[in-house]
Amino acid sequence: MKVAATVLFLLSLASYAFAHGEAVHETETESFFHMYPQLDVALYGTAALVILGMFVVYFGKKFTKFEKKAAFAVMVVTSLAVTGYLIMSTVQLNTIAETGGPVHWHADYEVWACGEKLVLEESEGLANKVGSEVLHHHNDDRIHIEGVLVRKSDASLGAFFGALGGALTGSELSVLMHDGTWKAWKNGDRCPDGTAGTVQVFVYRVANPASKPWMYAQEKLANADAYVISPFGQVPQGDCIIVEFGEAKELTEHLCASYAIAVQKGELYGS
């Protein structure tokens, strides 16, 4: 009975771990394996082994020879199952992913509405991030893309704002602010001064990332929600992205702090 109860407990833990790994998320990457269910499986598998080990230590003297062998077999099977899953899932994910493995990309960004720079939701606690495992920020005005991308489009600007709980399309911008309030704008909405606004996104991209001084150029994005940031870990060379709601224009006067500092240092120039 003792062994049977232990086996049932371990099975319930395993089923919870796998069910947790099938949660639905914003992107195909995250829905594929909840991005990193390997961590969940490793956590619950280790917890199961520790609990079983404690159980054996505490009740082991009362076990029959058969129960001891059964308990040992359960520990071995659990350990092999967890290890096998980690190996197979990692290989499979890296095989089908367009990125061919984990990436660690960054881009700086600012969000402006009616001439005011917005302060978005701030991260708290041990996780210290707002967004998902793959797409998030750390209160640093920086987009962090960290992990394996099944499709590169999973790291689009639209997906990033979706991961923050908001939205960015060609006609709509919505964000959660640092004070917990929601702000939303649609094309044609009016600013406090009466000006009709439109959602627009500008990107500063480095043309020669391999050598300094870097040269950048500004571009207004036609399909901003589908834009995937340039694949660089440092900014610059990574992008500077300006999201604005306001009077329509072809160029923005705003510039990310990282780019402004690089310009002051003589490491970057452009227009």
pLDDT digits (tens, 9 = 90+) for 152-176: 888 899 999 999 999 999 999 999 9
Same domain, 82 and 200: no
Q: How far apart are CA 89 and CA 120, in angstroms?
A: 35
pLDDT at 38: 53
Among 69, 96, 123, where does a domain finish?
Answer: 96
Among 46, 76, 96, where does a domain finish?
Answer: 96
Does residue 71 carry a pLDDT above 80?
no
In the chain, what are the helix, strand and coil shares in percent, each to the nearest 5?
40, 25, 35
Same domain, 111 and 65: no
Same domain, 48 and 139: no
223, HSE (Cβ side, Cα atoms, 13 Å): 6
Task: Calculate mean pLDDT across residues 110-124.
Answer: 94
Task: Calculate mean pLDDT across residues 10-25.
Answer: 40
| Number of domains, the chain | 2
Same domain, 137 and 228: yes
User: Sorting pLDDT into bands at 50, 70 and 90, what band is 70?
Assistant: confident
Q: Which domain does 143 fall in, by range?
A: 102-270
- According to DSSP, residue 134 is labeled S
Same domain, 262 and 131: yes
Same domain, 6 and 140: no
The pLDDT tens digits of the residues spanning 85-102 come to 655 655 555 555 466 678
Among 40, 70, 96, where does a domain finish?
Answer: 96
Same domain, 209 and 184: yes
pLDDT averaged over the chain? Answer: 81
Same domain, 244 and 180: yes
Same domain, 165 and 71: no
Same domain, 144 and 12: no
Q: Which of 205, 206, 184, 188 is nearest to 197 (CA)?
A: 188
Task: Calculate mean pLDDT across residues 265-271.
Answer: 93
- According to DSSP, residue 156 is labeled B
**Tokens 């970057």 -> residue:** 268
> CA torsion angle for 127, 165, 121, 19 (degrees, to 10)?
-20
Same domain, 141 and 250: yes
Q: Which residue has the higher pLDDT, 32 or 228?
A: 228
The token pair at 216 is 């950048």
Same domain, 206 and 255: yes
Do residues 146 and 104 make contact, with C-beta atoms less than 8 angstroms apart? yes
Predicted TM-score of the model (pTM):
0.69
pLDDT at 42: 62
